[in-house]
Structure 1
Amino acid sequence: MSLVARAKSLANRDALTRVGLALTAAWLLLVLLFWLLGPTGTTEPSGLGRLVRVMGLVLPLALIWVGVSLGRSIEILRAEAADLRQQLGRPLGQDSHGRDAARAPMPAPTARPAAPPHGQAPAPAAAAPSAVAARPRPGDQRQTAMRFEPGQAQAPIDVTTLIRALNFPDGPDDHEAIDALRQALRDPDLSRVLRSAQDVVTLLAGHDVYMDMLPPNPAPAAVWRRFAEGQRGSGVAALGGIHDREALETVAQMMRQDEIFRDTAHHFLRHFDGLLARLVPELDELQIAVLADSRSSRAFMLLGRVAGSFG
């Protein structure tokens, strides 16, 4: 919760506490006046009479503080809802105070023939002319995904542009990724996938789960192809390649407790699943490796593992 939302929530809860104290004092004053000014009895009250008097004194106090407690809980929920709406309206990569969250440097991957170095396409363009030439992501840049309004539908975009859009811009100076995202958002189907991915990554960033800090264990291209063909279960378990325990526990807790996040996550998983079914059969192994390293794919692997999509 942001500092402003927390301050407003605390102020409202303090006001409710003061109201509860005032009502309690008023009730105790009334009881005291009744005891001092009421008629005096000559007979000692029975046990039942004493119980009625105690209940008459305690029950109103209990009702007052139950009401105060409910009011405080409502204020907390209201502040969290307002903060969530604010987070959904912020660009990706900003913290709860509106500042850009610094991206941690990524560990260097080990050399492997099928997967490119983290965030880059392999240098030999002759071996794979259609591969995505992703720019390096230095650790001191800020991850920023910006919102764009979809325009008129145009011709289908090429694979390179689409994968670059699925990775989102590294910042306002990443003009190639920004242009790719603008082009992809003109396609209604791709726009739904990108916006659902953006919503998920924004919500995760609000809980300090950043895709740039979750390098996955690469799955073979054959596994991605089997998943795109509809295979599920242990045969595609390698797609759950993110093993960060803290991130997995955070997402699992959000899926259990946050209905908005749960609906957003399932919406994203459904749309990204459909995109993979259409896109992966057209890609070569190198392009699949670069796609798997994008921020959208990392979010898919993280959420899919928690949701049990990969067995």
Structure 2
Amino acid sequence: MAEPEDKTRRAPLDAVGRFTATEAVAAALSLIWLVAVAAYSFTAPDGTGPLGIVMTLMMVFLPIALIWVTVTTLRSVQELRAEATRLQSAVESMRNAYVTTQVQPSVQRKLEEIERTAKQAETALATFTSRRDASLVVASADRKAAMAAPARAAPAEDQPALALGTPAEDLRAPLSVGDFIRALQFPESPEDKDGFRALRLALEDRAVAKLIRAAQDVLTLLSQEGIFMDDLKPERARPELWRSFAQGERGRGISGLGGIRDRSSLALTAGRMREDPIFRDAAHHFLRTFDRTFAEFEKTATDAELVDLADTRTARAFMLFGRVAGVFD
């Protein structure tokens, strides 16, 4: 497509190629002067000597030369004015571009603040709409266990209980919901002490440790492709969809969970899964482990806790691999 012609840039060319009103007036004056001189030459007595001839020539051509010098000067002034207008337009464009580049960071900060506010509002709304099971006593996320304790078979009546040999995990406090969610987010930086503490506690839990290691493997493999979970902005899904997934529903009924829409990340992940069997096995192992662990977590989790978990790096990796593997198709 041709670029639109700049009017200010075209002005000097138009001034040069067009016969202006000033030049028309100058031509008319020149013609009048020539007629007047001719009339005078025919009526006046003949000039004698070289001096008379010189004076006659000066009388004919000097006024005409003065007229056209004036015309040329006026045209030069007009061209300079057009050039000044063009330069002023260019300076104005540069100033507007500079102002735009200075305003963009502030606009970006405003958008980030709006996004954080919306996120807090959605979390608060989820808290108000969390389920209220009569048989479920909701404790603080700092104290409530993330996973329900597995039921143990009662010892046989004829077999006495032994004081020794108690597994170490039975003596440990269960992993809290807050630490579980924090561990799935992984530490934000080397100075994130709370993140490393939660990760250490999660790795001490046998069931959760499997998910942490599987997530760490796929996140490392994704980073080799330049895919980082912090760069993905998934669409939020309702807690009811997460509960349906935990209860075994698959396909289009839970397609809202596949909130990752970044085409380049989806294409790179799909290509790597087709070409790299190690990457593919790690992805399927992660999906299976996330499925089992999340199903246990959902049994005692509130809607607000499901929303918090869905915003972790591990949950975003699940959304990405779930879309590529067809979990939501």
TM-score normalised over the length of structure 1: 0.54
**Cα distance in 2 between the residues matched to 1:293 and 1:232:** 21
Kindly report which structure 2 residues correspond to 1:1-311, keeping only aligned pairs within 5 A, or say none: 107=112, 109=115, 111=118, 115-116=122-123, 130=140, 153=169, 154-311=172-329
**Identity rate, percent:** 46
Change (3 A) 1:234 1:131: same
Q: If you compute each CA radius of gyration, which structure gives the higher value, 1 or 2? A: 2
The Cα of 1:307 is off from its aligned counterpart by: 0.3
SS at match of 2:225: coil
Q: Is the 8 A contact 1:115 1:218 kept in 2?
A: no
**Cα distance in 1 between the residues matched to 2:190 and 2:237:** 31
Structure 2 unmatched runs, 5+:
1-108, 128-137, 143-167
- Structure with greater helix percent: 2
Per the alignment, residue 55 of structure 2 pairs with none
**Counterpart AA for 1:233:** G
Q: Is the 8 A contact 2:252 2:328 kept in 1?
A: yes
SS at match of 2:122: coil
The Cα of 1:111 is off from its aligned counterpart by: 1.9
Q: Is the 8 A contact 2:211 2:290 kept in 1?
A: yes
Q: Is the 8 A contact 1:115 1:290 kept in 2?
A: no
**Cα distance in 2 between the residues matched to 1:268 and 1:168:** 16
**Counterpart AA for 1:277:** A
1:196-254 residue CA offsets vs partner (Å, 9 max, x unmatched)? 00000010011100000002101000000000000111111001001000000000001
1:136-169 residue CA offsets vs partner (Å, 9 max, x unmatched)? xxxxxxxxxxxxxxxx633321111100000000
The Cα of 1:131 is off from its aligned counterpart by: 5.3
**Cα distance in 2 between the residues matched to 1:165 and 1:289:** 15
Aligned residues, how many? 180
Per the alignment, residue 87 of structure 1 pairs with none
The Cα of 1:113 is off from its aligned counterpart by: 7.2
Query: How large is the RMSD of aligned CA atoms in angstroms?
Result: 2.4
